[in-house]
Structure 1
Amino acid sequence: MNLVGKTVLVTGATRGIGRELTRQFIESGAHVVAAGREHRHLESLASDYADRVTPWAVDLADPDAVDIFVRELTDRHPQLSIVINNAGVQTLTDFLGDGPQTTRAALRREVAINLDAVIALSTGLLPHLRRQPAAAIVNITSGLAVTPKRSAPVYCATKAGVRVFTRALRYQCQDAAPHVRVIDVVLPIVDTDMTRGRGRGKISAADAAAAVITGIRCGSTEIYVGKAKLLPAVMRLSPALGYRILRNG
């Protein structure tokens, strides 16, 4: 896929991988609709990239706001052809140690952003995308969708849900709209605000974004990045080993 002149939606665009995706798409000749929640960071993007980016404030945890966003987005950007569902949050949770009242709101927000918004944007924008000559829906998941870690059960569950949803949606598009590619990106641990102080052997957000864009250009349907490339082989040879490796990740 040639990215020059494309209009790309990137959610979670103001930080980490999303900001790098925004920068690299723009450098590739695309226009980016940068969706985020914090006005200060959106203004920074607008300052850096001027008319190459359209900042858009939206809270993806609010279903009504997401529905309005879907309706207005295609009216304002009729050339939109690539959707990157990148936004995500992770809540570290000990269900035996934390009181349910203290975590319930955060976990509901986590499900809303990580899973519900991905489904709403993918399906809500699909009628528009199928009218484009070539289009793509790119859902950012994680190695933790394949083998979870004990400290973030809901995050792992939402990413696993996105992974299965992405595959099933791909089947539908392959049958009825083959020019719309549905892509699953399986990331390793990436050096972002979300992972600060946790994990080792992280890759940079720039490297993660570059792998995503390379995969889109090459026509991949699944993009395994960095150490995540080892997961399919490990899970085929010994699922128990795969689960053990990331259990305490």
Structure 2
Amino acid sequence: MRNKSITFDGANVVLTGATRGIGKALCGQLIAEGATVAAIARDEAHLRALQDELGERVIPFPGDLSRSGDRRQMIDDVIQRFDRLDGLINNAGIQTEMSFVGESPADREMQWTQDIAINLEAPIHLVSGLVPAMRGSTTPFVVNVTSGLAIAPKAAAPVYCATKAGLRSFTKALRYQSQSSWHDLLVVDVIIPLVDTDMTRGRGKAKISPEHAAAAILSGLRAGKEEIWVAKAKFLPWLHRLAPRMTERILR
């Protein structure tokens, strides 16, 4: 049987999108609990600033998650740096609002390819490359951050919604595999509501703070939860079961 809870003291955790929003909050809270964080982000200067702020247990790994070559290099560098990995948190994401009935095809292609690469290809690539390095851990875990929009999409960001739905499905299938072949591996889907970050600036109301979101994620991990529904997202499964059309109207 796999372990029912996760502890972070002494853990080596890979975290994407580590310099902003939820990722930065997660990094700070993990460090405070005794973890060492392999911090992945595109901007090397921001990673160095994060290390200056939080200390030497932040290990920076700069690279562009939308590029497969960068991802391969980061995977190799992380594996060489750590003799054991305990966790992977795929937090990085991008949401581009786009229309498929109004803009030129060239504009759309640049937008949707980056959304797919960062939101879906990168988590799958990192799982493929890094999970084998968790075999030495007693409490290995994978966290994929999805969204309520994986369940009911919004009109303005169709590709983002599709990538989160795809990541949610991938996460569930990965969990099935772990339940069959590696019971100790905890595979977690985090369903997040609207959080006050750079990505959501100017969108929506009643946002929660990145610190609130990060604390909820780590609390769910400590409890060994396979799905972590954060804040208002907790009501989504219930509402969608009872009134799916209402859910779609709300999120649309």
- In the superposition, the TM-score normalised over structure 1's length comes to 0.97
Matched, 1:22 2:21: no
Q: Contact 2:85–2:136 (CA<8 Å) still a contact in 1?
A: no
Q: Distance in 2 between matches of 1:85 and 1:133?
A: 20
Task: Please report how far the alpha carbon of residue 43 of structure 1 lies from its aligned counterpart in structure 2 after TM superposition.
Answer: 1.4
Matched, 1:113 2:87: no
The one of 13, 16, 30 equivalent to 1:11 is 16
Q: Contact 1:130–1:177 (CA<8 Å) still a contact in 2?
A: no
Q: Contact 1:25–1:32 (CA<8 Å) still a contact in 2?
A: yes
Q: Contact 2:144–2:190 (CA<8 Å) still a contact in 1?
A: yes
Q: Distance in 2 between matches of 1:198 and 1:68?
A: 35
SS at 1:193 equivalent: coil
The one of 47, 50, 58 equivalent to 1:45 is 50
Matched, 1:169 2:180: no
Q: Aligned runs of 1:57-76 on 2, under 5 Å?
A: 57-76=62-81
Counterpart amino acid of residue 177 in structure 1: W
Q: Aligned runs of 1:169-248 on 2, under 5 Å?
A: 169-247=174-252
Task: Please report how far the alpha carbon of residue 64 of structure 1 lies from its aligned counterpart in structure 2 after TM superposition.
Answer: 1.5
SS at 2:189 equivalent: strand
Task: Please report how far the alpha carbon of residue 106 of structure 1 lies from its aligned counterpart in structure 2 after TM superposition.
Answer: 2.1
Matched, 1:84 2:84: no
Runs of 4+ in 1 over 6 A off after TM superposition: none
SS at 2:188 equivalent: strand
* Deviating more after overlay: 211-220 vs 127-136: 127-136
Q: Deviations over 1:91-130 (max 9, x none)?
A: 0011111112112112101100100000011122121123
Q: Distance in 2 between matches of 1:23 and 1:5?
A: 15
Task: Please report how far the alpha carbon of residue 50 of structure 1 lies from its aligned counterpart in structure 2 after TM superposition.
Answer: 2.3
SS at 1:203 equivalent: coil
Counterpart amino acid of residue 42 in structure 1: L
Corresponding residue for residue 152 of structure 1: 157
The one of 106, 118, 131 equivalent to 1:101 is 106
- Percent of counterpart pairs with the same letter? 47
- In the superposition, the TM-score normalised over structure 2's length comes to 0.96
Q: Distance in 2 between matches of 1:200 and 1:52?
A: 35
Q: Which runs of 5 or more residues in structure 2 are unaligned?
A: 1-5
Counterpart amino acid of residue 144 in structure 1: L
Q: Contact 1:188–1:228 (CA<8 Å) still a contact in 2?
A: yes
Task: Please report how far the alpha carbon of residue 89 of structure 1 lies from its aligned counterpart in structure 2 after TM superposition.
Answer: 0.4
Corresponding residue for residue 137 of structure 2: 132
| Structure holding more strand per residue | 1
Q: Deviations over 1:50-93 (max 9, x none)?
A: 21100110110001211222122112112221100000001001
Q: How many residues align?
A: 247
Q: Contact 1:8–1:81 (CA<8 Å) still a contact in 2?
A: yes
Two-structure CA RMSD over aligned residues (Å)? 0.9
* Deviating more after overlay: 130-139 vs 85-94: 130-139
